[in-house]
Structure 1
Amino acid sequence: MTEANRGVRERPQSPHTDVWRWHITMATSILHRVTGVGLYITALLAAVWAVTLAAGPEAYADYMGFLGSAIGRLGLFVATLCTFFHLAHGIRHLVWDAGKGFAIKTINTSSIAELVFAVVASVGVWIIAAMMGAL
């Protein structure tokens, strides 16, 4: 009969970023989580906007003044980047759910495409907003 060691066994540990060589898909996976947090913060900004709108003209004007400041605009631009990156990454996951796009070259290309799309779409939205007089 075999004798099993009944002591406490070490549990396997998840691979950490120090163990794996960095690659673009690792970066986009982490960035997807980060942008998800950014979208939660963006939702809070929208909730505060609604509360200040209900609180009256003075509170609304103060909040809109904050959003129109340099720090507010930077935050809104980052929120735009988060939105477009999260959208692109979600579409990529839909393609994966269909069983497509798993070749290494395709995965790396789609990772770069996500990043490029997020930047180009965000800059495009802000250029259009400036042309329409919203900034």
Structure 2
Amino acid sequence: MANAKTGTDRPLSPHLQIYRPQLSSMPSITHRITGMANAAGLILLTWWLVAMATGAGAFDAVQWFLDSILGRIMLFGWTWALCYHFLNGIRHLVWDAGFGFEVETMERSAKMVIGGSVVLTLLVWIVVAIV
């Protein structure tokens, strides 16, 4: 035990400052982040529902916040997180079925998820604005 190596001759993992993100890893990381954002959005939804059940004063306060710039940004971000998480979840289900593991297919599906989530988010907000 006294002669145990300290491990200094082993290569280090790349630091975040020099690591170049890859298209294959970023959707996975973003999927985890959007999962956390969805949980935070559920807190916002719960606040809105409790305020609705509490009374007009509480509901007006929540509506005031949601109609503010910060509230709109949060709602837009939550909508995108929901859309991205949904589409990337479908991508993962396709992988679970054993398809789409080729590098070209993975990159194409990642781009489709990113583009699709933006388009779906905009469609949701357009429909909400019309209705």
TM normalised by structure 2 equals: 0.86
Structure 1 residues 131, 114: CA separation in 2 closer, same or farther (over 3 Å shift)?
Answer: same
Give the whole-Å Cα distance in 2 for the aligned partners of 1:69 and 1:81.
18
Deviation, 1:27, is: 1.4
Q: Which deviates the most, 22-31 or 58-67?
A: 22-31
Q: Shift in Å at residue 6 of structure 1?
A: 6.7
Which amino acid counterpart does residue 102 of structure 2 have in structure 1?
Answer: A
Matched with 1:119 is 118
Task: Indicate the larger mover: 81-90 or 22-31.
Answer: 22-31
| CA-CA distance at 1:54 after TM superposition | 2.1
- The yes-or-no answer on 1:96 pairing with 2:79 is no
Correspondences of 1:2-21 after superposition (within 5 Å): 7=4, 10=7, 17=16, 21=20
Does residue 82 in structure 1 map to residue 81 in structure 2?
A: yes
C-alpha RMSD of the superposition: 2.2
How many residue pairs match? The answer is: 129
Deviates more, 1:60-69 or 1:78-87: 60-69
Question: Which 4+ residue blocks in structure 1 deviate beyond 6 angstroms?
Answer: 12-15
Unaligned stretches of 5+ residues in structure 2: none
Between the aligned residues of both structures, percent identity stands at: 35
- Residue 30 of structure 1 aligns with which residue? 29
2: CA distance, partners of 1:16 / 1:90: 29
Any gaps of 5 or more consecutive residues in structure 1?
A: none
What residue identity is the alignment partner of 1:7? A
Q: Show the counterpart of 1:50.
A: 49
Task: Report the residue type matching 1:115 in the other structure.
Answer: I
TM-score by length of 1: 0.84
Give 1:106's aligned residue: 105
**CA distance in 1 between partners of 2:37 and 2:15 (Å):** 23
